[in-house]
Structure 1
């Protein structure tokens, strides 16, 4: 079995024993993808592989067709919008993911972005290192209203943390878990109400054609001028040009962004002074990578043994 792993550089470094275990199942080829990969190079790399294990690289119809021996695609993480899983199904290729294992890491990172944006922490850190001492006023997170777009595992983990800040918690999403909402003191509201009343808006929903650019010129215009927008899901959920203009014009206060439409990003958005930008590191903790590695190994063992796979998405 020939396996191609396309993972973020630190993922490999964080869990070296994972690859030792995988090598017992077959031949392993590794491509580190923090700086992206040219599509023509990728098509050559997949030409002889049976299995692709991928984090963020796009596996579309063209790449699938370039891999005549391909029998299985695994998403090393939860969201699988970078994989054309419907076309893979047409080709008889199963696609699985590893859901829920990065939930706590992403929820932690959400609050890191939130507090950094509210209190200008990264800007002040840069100024201090340059020898500059100047006070800047910020906002408290305590007792503010948070609006969570998407109430899945990550949305619930964010709500749990928000309760520790005594925040009023509103959520919007198609799938409403009323039992969890009652336990976490979460109110479900309509989209426009969430946007217009929230001090902090967190995007943690899936990217699809209905949600693409759900944050745009119109929806940004509904938000408070003091609002902070956090995106820890997918860059395509936000119209980056519209958000850039809104932040330049102080239409909203700040943004904390871990994801971008194109990664690595060259967007002006990441350079704005009222943006806290991180390079898609929400899931990059030793604990989360270890859990995802365990999930990946278990399904690869199942595949090698001809057993039923867990967490099929197609």
Structure 2
């Protein structure tokens, strides 16, 4: 059994147990992919593998066709938009993920980004390290209106944290969970109402063909000039050119992004003064990576033993 690991570079050091456990079940090959990997190189790497464990590298039809021995694809995380699930299933290859396992880490990061952009924390830290000391004004999040796009595990964890700041939370989703909403004191609203009324908007929904560029010139124009937008989900949910122009013209107060359409980003969006940016680290905690590793190893053992897999991903569309 040959297992190919394609994770974020830091994940290997953060969770060496994953590699040790995987080696106990077969031959393991490790790829370091943070600096990118060409399609041809990737196709060559997969030609003799049985199992792929992948974080963000794109596993499309061409890659699957280049792997005639491939029996199983594991997404090392929750969002699986980088995997052509439908084509994998047409070839009899199951795909699994680890839903909700990194929700607490991502929710923590969402609040960290929200606080950072509202109080200009990264900017002030950089100034004071350079010997520059100046008071500047910021905005509270206490008792402000929080709008969340999506209502999956990450969004629910964000809503729970919002109660500690006495925020009024509204949610836009096509899949309302009324029981969770009552528990978390959440109100479901339409998309326009959420963008019009929110002081802070956090994007926490999965990406699919129907919601690509959900946040664009039209939706951004609905926002208050004092509002902020935060994205901890997928970069392609936002039209980055529209966001760049909105921020450059100071039509909204600011943005905080953990994700981009191209990673690393190739545009000037992260360079704007009214933006806080991080390199897709929302789920990158030792605790989260350890839990995902446990789910992955458990599922590999089940596959080898012919048992039913956990968290099987089926082609579907949701927000």
- TM interval, short-chain normalised: over 0.9
Residue in 2 aligned with 1:82?
82
* RMSD after superposition: 0.7
Match of residue 266 from structure 1: 266
Quote the Cα distance in structure 2 between the aligned partners of 1:221 and 1:99: 33
**Is 1:296 aligned to 2:296, yes or no?**
yes
Match of 2:104 in 1: 104
Q: For 1:181-196, list aligned pairs within 5 A.
A: 181-196=181-196
Task: Indicate the residue corresponding to 1:209 in structure 2.
Answer: 209
Three-state SS of the structure 1 residue aligned to 2:42 is helix
Residue 3 of structure 2 contacts residue 22 of structure 2 at CA under 8 Å; is this kept in 1?
A: no
SS at structure 1 position matched to 2:170: strand
Q: Secondary structure at the match of 2:169?
A: strand
**Aligned residue for 1:14?**
14
Partner SS state of residue 146, structure 1: strand
> Hey, which bits of structure 1, 4+ residues long, moved more than 4 A?
none
Which sits farther off after the overlay, 123-132 or 156-165? 123-132
Query: Residue by residue, what CA displacement relative to the aligned partner does 1:95-129 show, whole Å, maximum 9, x if unpaired?
Result: 11011110000000000000000000001111111
Partner of 1:4, secondary structure, is strand
Matches of 2:262 and 2:303 in 1, distance apart? 32
Q: Give the whole-Å Cα distance in 2 for the aligned partners of 1:252 and 1:57.
A: 33
Matched, 1:161 2:157: no
Alignment check: 8 A CA contact 1:36 1:263 kept: no
Q: 1-side partners of 2:17 and 2:80: how far apart?
A: 25
**Is the 1:50–1:72 contact (alpha carbons within 8 Å) kept by the matching residues of 2?**
yes
Aligned residue number for residue 220 of structure 1: 220
1: distance between equivalents of 2:39 and 2:129? 40
1:229 matches 2:229: yes
Q: The residue matched to 2:175 in structure 1 has which SS?
A: coil
CA distance in 1, matches of 2:294, 2:107: 21
Would the aligned equivalents of 1:18 and 1:297 in 2 still touch at CA under 8 Å?
A: yes
Q: Does 1:197 align with 2:197?
A: yes
- Give yes or no for contact 1:303–1:309 (8 Å, CA) kept in 2: yes
What displacement does 1:272 show? 1.0
Per the normalisation by structure 2, the TM-score is 0.97
Contact 2:155 2:204 in 1 (8 A): yes
Indicate conservation of the 8 Å contact 1:106/1:232, yes or no.
Answer: yes
Q: CA–CA distance in 1 between the matches of 2:153 and 2:64?
A: 30
Report the Cα offset of residue 212 of structure 1.
0.3
Q: Distance in 1 between matches of 2:241 and 2:66?
A: 34
Q: 1:313 corresponds to which residue?
A: 313
Q: Does the residue aligned with 2:106 lie in a helix, a strand or coil?
A: helix
Question: 1:267 Cα shift?
Answer: 2.1
Please state whether the residue corresponding to 1:206 is helix, strand or coil: coil
Q: TM-score, normalised by structure 1?
A: 0.99
1:146-203 deviations in whole A, cap 9, x for unaligned?
Answer: 0000011111100000000000000010110111101111000111000000000000
Between the two proteins, the alignment pairs up a number of residues equal to: 314
Name the CA distance, whole Å, in 1 between partners of 2:22 and 2:92.
24
Question: Is 1:37 the counterpart of 2:48 in the alignment?
Answer: no
Counterparts of 1:242 and 1:124, CA distance in 2: 27
Cα deviation for residue 305 of structure 1 reads: 1.4
Tell me the SS of whatever aligns to 1:110.
helix
Query: What is the rounded CA distance, in whole Å, between the counterparts of 1:72 and 1:16 in structure 2?
Result: 22
2:59 is aligned with 1:59: yes
Deviation track 1:204-253 (CA, whole Å, cap 9, x = no partner) reads: 11111111000001110000111110000000000000000000000111
SS where residue 118 of structure 1 aligns? helix
- Secondary structure of the residue that 2:312 maps to in structure 1? coil
Unaligned runs of 5+ in 2: 315-319
Say yes or no: does 1:133 pair with 2:137.
no
Match of 2:147 in 1: 147
Q: Which runs of no fewer than 5 residues in structure 1 stay unpaired?
A: none
